[in-house]
Amino acid sequence: MTAARPEIDDAAAVEKDRDSLTDFSPVNAPTQRQSRSGRQPRIANRNADDIPVAQRATPQLRPANPWLLRLAIVSGGAVLVAVALTLVFPQPLRRWLTPPPVAGLDARPGLDGRLLGHFPYGQAAASDLVELGDGQRLQRDAARELSAMLVAARADGVELVVLSAFRSIDQQKALFFDVKSERNQTARERARVSAPPGYSEHSTGYAVDLGDASAAGTNLSPSFDTTAAFQWLQANAHRYHFTLSFPRNNPQGVSYEPWHWRFEGTAEALKLFEPAARFANR
């Protein structure tokens, strides 16, 4: 009977496996064990080859550790939420993954594209710029209207002076960083009164800084708004499609600049300043 021994051993092993399978069910386990012990001879006589291999492997079907299951559900959920947020709100992620746009300035643009309050602007093509005299240049359409405005002001006894017009992004960079170190300002303090390079209306060739020839002490100062030139501009600049970019308490958060006017008299200029105009009127 030596050949029968392995069969009995196999059957016993299967029985053992079944017992271990039901171990996790404390209510049923003792009853089943008792009833099976009554059928012991029948199982012992069965040929172990009749038991499918898959059935022998059933211990692998034990329920997963509930903590592992919870961990898998939570991490899977977190991944799904992250993917959904990335698809719905790609901008914040892109914003934080890209380096700050201005070297030497540790600031990133907001969701509306503004950097420390200033909207981004490209640089005018040299072919679109014309000379104003004194080395100043402006976009052709803006230059034509500005000339007409200066003539009209003079006729009213007001001498407007062009202090600054087109500035390349490189010139703006020098202005921003040189004056910043000269005045011992932080970049954020500097941005209150001057746009970072790539964020200046002057680079578009549509913006001018104007002064009053009879009150040079008010040049580029908030006190320019006490001059006859400013009073005249407030009353007449719109006829030449010039508008004050940074009025007092402007929503952009840029400091009050009564001397800085931008031209919005062409479709191209209007489109360029549309985000700023929409922001100011919201």
Work out how close the CB of 164 gets to Zn ion at its nearest, in angstroms, rounded to a whole number: 6
Residue 80: both structure tokens together: 């799904």
At its nearest, how many Å lie between Zn ion and the CB of residue 155?
Answer: 25
Question: What residue number has its CB nearest to Zn ion?
Answer: 260
Scored b (16 or more CB within 10 A) or e, 176-185 reads bbeebeeeeb
Q: Which stretch binds Zn ion (CB under 5 A): 18-26, 82-90, 132-140, 253-261?
A: 253-261
The smaller minimum CB distance to Zn ion, of residues 209 and 225, is found at 209
Q: Select from 114, 118, 190, 260 the one that contacts Zn ion (CB under 5 A).
A: 260
| Least distance to Zn ion, CB of residue 157, Å | 25
Which residue's structure tokens are 């060739």? 205
CB 218 within 8 A of CB 246: no
Look up residue 202 and give its two tokens: 């002057």
Q: Which of residues 134-193 bind Zn ion (CB under 5 A)?
A: none
Segment interacting with Zn ion, rule: CB under 5 A, options 12-20, 41-49, 146-154, 201-209: 201-209
Least separation in angstroms between residue 259's CB and Zn ion is 7
**How many binding residues for Zn ion (CB under 5 A)?**
2
CA-to-CA distance for 118 and 223, rounded, in angstroms?
23
- Asked if 245 contacts 272 with a C-beta cutoff of 8 angstroms, the reply is no
Least distance CB 202 / Zn ion (angstroms): 6
**One character per residue 203-242, x = contact with Zn ion (rule: CB under 5 A):** ------x---------------------------------
120, 109 Cβ separation under 8 angstroms: yes
CB of 257 to Zn ion, least distance (A): 6
Instruction: Give ∠ CA 205-206-209 in degrees, rounded to 5.
Output: 95
Based on CB atoms, which residue is closest to Zn ion, 141 or 209? 209
Surface-to-core class of residue 146, CB atoms within 10 Å of its CB (0-12 exposed, 13-18 middle, 19+ buried): buried
For the record, the structure tokens of 178 come out as: 């040189």
- Give contact residues for Zn ion (rule: CB under 5 A): 209, 260
